[in-house]
Amino acid sequence: MDSRIEIIYEDADIIVCHKHAGIAVQTAGIGSKDMVSELKNYLKSAAGKKEPYLGIVHRLDQPVEGVMVFAKTARAAASLSRQVEKGEGSGMRKIYQAEVVGHMEAPSGELKDYLIKDGKSNTSRVAEQAFVSSGQAKPAVLRYEVKERFEETELLEIQLLTGRHHQIRVQLSHAGCPLAGDTKYASEASALYNRKHNIRTAALKAVRLEFSHPVTGTWMVFSI
């Protein structure tokens, strides 16, 4: 198994992993390692199956490190997917840690935007009102709390309430505080900071994942 994948927990229904930065969740590239192919190889070796089932429930961007859960059965995948859709409350809780360049306007708060994805450039942006009115843009909501404040940066804890493409990176950049090390959504100030400190990886980590076990209903918490 790829050294950038670490299994935290496994039973008959789910497998929880620590994904390290730099490995994709799934890729179409021939010969490229990714979470899905590596985990399927592991399950095939462990159980002797030709093609084991592995359901993708949620994703992390390739540069992002963190906790992920995969389903080992279709039933588990359906249950976990419903929890992802529910989000806050009875759904899955995803907690992130982020270092941003700049300082947020308030020590805690909620960011609410509408995002639109550009498939050609593999980017997302905060949508103009016309896209919101037409229904082409999707709502994106996160909560943040400043944990530490430094001269040029802040350390944030973030609860993701929706799961949009590049959501955290886009919303924080739009709020004037791009992620340290993020080149895709960098501002002039954050790009300068990245070069000065030679930071090449987005400073974002999925540090905690909470959900109800898809079969037993037990509330499970995993953190790194």
Residues labelled catalytic: 61
User: Tokens representing 101?
Assistant: 């360049």
The residue assigned the tokens 């992002």 is 64
Length of the chain: 224
Residue 206 CB neighbour total at 10 angstroms: 24
Cα dihedral 102→105→62→88 (10° resolution): 160
Cα dihedral 217→208→71→162 (10° resolution): 90
Distances (CA, A) of 185 to 25, 98, 175, 178, 194: 21, 14, 12, 7, 12
CB 81 within 8 A of CB 92: no
User: Tokens representing 212?
Assistant: 């109800």
User: Tokens representing 218?
Assistant: 């037990």
Using CA atoms, how far apart are residues 217 and 212, in angstroms rounded to an integer? 5
Any idea what the Cα angle at residue 33 is, between residues 31 and 38, rounded to 5°?
120
